[in-house]
Structure 1
Amino acid sequence: MIGDNVFYIALSWAAVQSGTPSQAGLVMAVSAVPRALLMLGGGVVADRFGPRRVVIGSDAVRCAAVLTVAALLFVAGPGLWLLALLAVVFGIVDAVFMPAVGALPARVTGRDQLARVQGMRGLAVRFANVAGAPLGGLGVALGGSATAFALAGLLIAVSVPLLISVRMREPVSAVGDGASTADVVADADDTPGDPEDVPARVDESGTPARVPDGRDGPAVAPERPAPAPATAWRDLRDGLRYIRGHRVLAPLIVAIALGDLGFVGPLNVGLALLADQRGWGASGMGLVVAAFGAGAGAAALLLAWRGTLPRAGSAGAAALLCGSVAIGALAYVPGVGAAVGVALAIGLLAGLSGALCGALLQTQSEPAYLGRVTAVAGIVSLGLAPLSMPLTAAAIGWWGTGPVFVASAVVCGLGGVVALGVRDLRRAELPR
């Protein structure tokens, strides 16, 4: 994660040096397109080949791509085509890497520790955000974008042997916390009377009993047709059908998507425009961003320490609703001091709801489907939500910060309404 932060600092600096501001913005946004388009397929890849193998392979590809560009920049000036190509490669690899990372925790620890792992991951993200930007700036100051890219590649390279050293364990089934696998992963072409639909009967010895075939003569067991060969498309359909039929995962993913759509625009491009309009300056904006990070880090630390919270579904929904109110209020605070306090509350509430929703995704999903579940949940937050930032900026130019922040808060709050309105999600608990 630190390497990723350094990479994006290097990419943005090189893009600004090589083209116009609009071209630089296009280079920074282009990686989101393949990530959004290919992430569902990345979830299939993670579940089919195993998340450990996919994570190691995709991390090695990212490392090689960044170091190759660093070497090219040492001998030639950066061109926008090269930077755009690197951004696209990163987006493609992220589409495979991120679902695989999401499927790893269930194979590293027990279900009762998954919430704690989610909290620790949140702490790692906050630390990477704090440490990555200064390191990227230092790399640019010492040797330009080429040095910063080389630093990012070396940091990513260090993560490869660390990932190789991680030991896997057999994941524990989550059946019973929502819909069972048998309930939701039936063939799409199930029809009444299909031999696979005949209920199995077991005698006292545990041996399946033979079933009469309806004709004269001894009873015979019905012949079961050979299963259809597994394909990537079939795996994708099974994963989507699994999510759609799950009483907790389906509404949870909708709530996560609404929360991310309402959150990303205001807290990224919207905050910069708000600080400029209010005259807070770069230092004031930095304080607001730092307060948000501190609040999110505190929420992650709480979950890492406690390991679980009672009534996780209700708590996550309430945090999402309260956080949405704080997002709308941020556009109307009178000064920097008040904005810092509101940003601290947003970070705490958003961090808590995000960590709880992530932990529920981990504990409610069957391990065999975690890659696809993570991919579906990440399509909006990692693929589509970044594309909303230019729309947010344009909307603020038309209507101002207040109405846009309030509209975004309404979208975010709808996620909390969905979570509270679905009984199974509202009552969902984390394992103890």
Structure 2
Amino acid sequence: MTATLLAAVERPAHRDPQVLRWLGAYTASTLGDSVYHLALSWAAVRGGSPAEAGLVLAVSAVPRALLMLGGGVVADRFGPRRVVIASDTVRCLVVLLVAALLLVASPTLWTLAGIALVFGIVDALFMPAVGALPPRLAPHDQLARVQGMRGLAYRSGAVLGAPLGGLAVALGGPGIAFAVAGALFALSLPLLLGLRLRPLSGAAEDRSGTALGDLAAGLRYLRGHRVLGPLMIVIALSDLGFVGPLNVGLALLSDERGWGAAGIGWILAGFGVGAGGASLLLSVKGRVPRAGAVLGWSMAVGAVSIGALAYVPQLPLAVAVALSVGLLAGLSGALCGALVQTECDPAYLGRVSAVSGLCSLGLAPLGFPLTGAAIGLWGVGPVFTTSAAVCALAGLYGLSVRAVRRAELPR
């Protein structure tokens, strides 16, 4: 029996049934999320003005930003598996209810905004819990490989979800697309229910008995950690510099160059291929030597590609530059995630993942209006260059902090 347990512990992540079960559930959930967002976008555009549709799509960002830290407390208090199962159950029921309603009536914008609000609340719980699950599924030395596999699953869901949602809308309208999203969320549930988690290991947690006290304890832990504290600053700076150009600047750049919507699609495809390649590298190798230094340099060098994207005149060259951005940003992002997973005490991982997610999904999107306004005033080139400088600053800051620069993934 001891030999069997030892073999289970030493089993690589890509052969571990628990990890593969979780990965299948995560892929199904990501696909469902992509289909849901496309169905919501289409229903909102058909039901109101472009400004009203934009407002509906922005509603979910508010609770996600406000409640993300609380979601980390919930994940650590009640266990990430329970929270993920509850989140996907709610999402499944909500979109199936909407699909049923669309069979008898057209949804109002208020209805769509309510759905987006519910999803924003659920996302604030789901995202920290997903970040806290891997250490309870795989051995410590397999967490980097799990992070790479998770990146591949996310990219696959994002790439395949949009055409799947578009096909569903074309065949039967938003109602069918919502039904498909609900079915995908439902598919994740039996896989999640079959998970068997590893016991927590690490330092005893400082609990005060209240949710606010748990949050304060998590923030104290993060502030005092020699790697994780500075790493949160690296993540925040890189996201602030990177997210605006990719989400807002890219559309304005394509319009300025005359590449149109197809140009945006090709550039995003190049980015996705590069980011997927970085995730595949980490999945196969399982470990990158001198991870902290590679993280910093990949951010700094990748910043050059971000700045260059605004100055390339032809679309094929822009796609090639976007591929390099995806490769370097994907590598640095995967290494950030892997270091968070391996450096953090599992008892605090929900709250640490929440802080990391807040940087990416709460603070960075606040710069979207500023990015658009700045491009209107100064043009695409100066804004992309400034954003690239912020990304470079993130990498250089990581390299300047000795604990981050010398951080290693476990062997």
Q: Which moved more, 1:143-152 or 1:241-250?
A: 143-152
For 2:266, which of 287, 291, 295 is the aligned residue?
287
Q: Report Cα offsets for 1:131-161 as digits up to 9, x if no partner.
A: 1000110111111111111111111111111
Give the corresponding residue for 1:193: none
Matched-pair contact (CA < 8 Å) for 2:208–2:214: no
Matched-pair contact (CA < 8 Å) for 1:36–1:380: no
Q: Tell me, in whole angstroms, the C-alpha distance in 2 between the residues paired with 1:57 and 1:285.
A: 36
Asked if 1:349 is matched to 2:328, the reply is: yes
Q: Tell me, in whole angstroms, the C-alpha distance in 2 between the residues paired with 1:229 and 1:245.
A: 18
1:332 corresponds to which letter in structure 2?
A: Y
Q: Tell me, in whole angstroms, the C-alpha distance in 2 between the residues paired with 1:18 and 1:412.
A: 39
**Aligned-residue offset at 1:337:** 1.6
Unaligned stretches of 5+ residues in structure 1: 174-180, 187-227
Q: Which has the larger radius of gyration?
A: 1
Asked if 1:316 is matched to 2:345, the reply is: no
**Aligned-residue offset at 1:384:** 2.4
Q: How does 1:179-328 map to 2 (within 5 A)?
A: 181=203, 230-328=209-307
Q: Tell me, in whole angstroms, the C-alpha distance in 2 between the residues paired with 1:34 and 1:251.
A: 26
1:267 corresponds to which letter in structure 2?
A: L
CA RMSD of aligned residues (A): 1.3
For 2:44, which of 5, 9, 15 is the aligned residue?
15
Asked if 1:126 is matched to 2:155, the reply is: yes
Q: Tell me, in whole angstroms, the C-alpha distance in 2 between the residues paired with 1:266 and 1:302.
A: 26
Q: Tell me, in whole angstroms, the C-alpha distance in 2 between the residues paired with 1:279 and 1:25.
A: 24
Look up the SS of the partner of 2:252 in the other structure: helix
For 2:354, which of 356, 375, 381 is the aligned residue?
375
Give the corresponding residue for 2:192: 163
Q: Report Cα offsets for 1:82-130 as digits up to 9, x if no partner.
A: 1111111001011011101100000000110000000000101111111
2:324 corresponds to which letter in structure 1?
A: A
The aligned length equals 382
CA gap 1:142/1:387 in 2 versus in 1, 3 angstroms: farther
2:274 corresponds to which letter in structure 1?
A: G
**What is the TM-score normalised by the length of structure 2?**
0.91
Matched-pair contact (CA < 8 Å) for 2:140–2:342: yes
Give the corresponding residue for 2:314: 335
Q: Tell me, in whole angstroms, the C-alpha distance in 2 between the residues paired with 1:418 and 1:89.
A: 37
Matched-pair contact (CA < 8 Å) for 1:15–1:83: yes
1:372 corresponds to which letter in structure 2?
A: R
Q: Tell me, in whole angstroms, the C-alpha distance in 1 between the residues paired with 2:200 and 2:381.
A: 47
| Greater share of residues in helix | 2
**Aligned-residue offset at 1:258:** 0.8
**Aligned-residue offset at 1:229:** 5.1
**What is the TM-score normalised by the length of structure 1?**
0.86
Matched-pair contact (CA < 8 Å) for 1:274–1:401: yes
Asked if 1:71 is matched to 2:50, the reply is: no
Q: How does 1:29-178 map to 2 (within 5 A)?
A: 29-173=58-202
Q: Report Cα offsets for 1:315-367 as digits up to 9, x if no partner.
A: 01111111111111100012112101110100000000000000000000000
Matched-pair contact (CA < 8 Å) for 2:63–2:124: yes
Report sequence identity in percent. Answer: 67
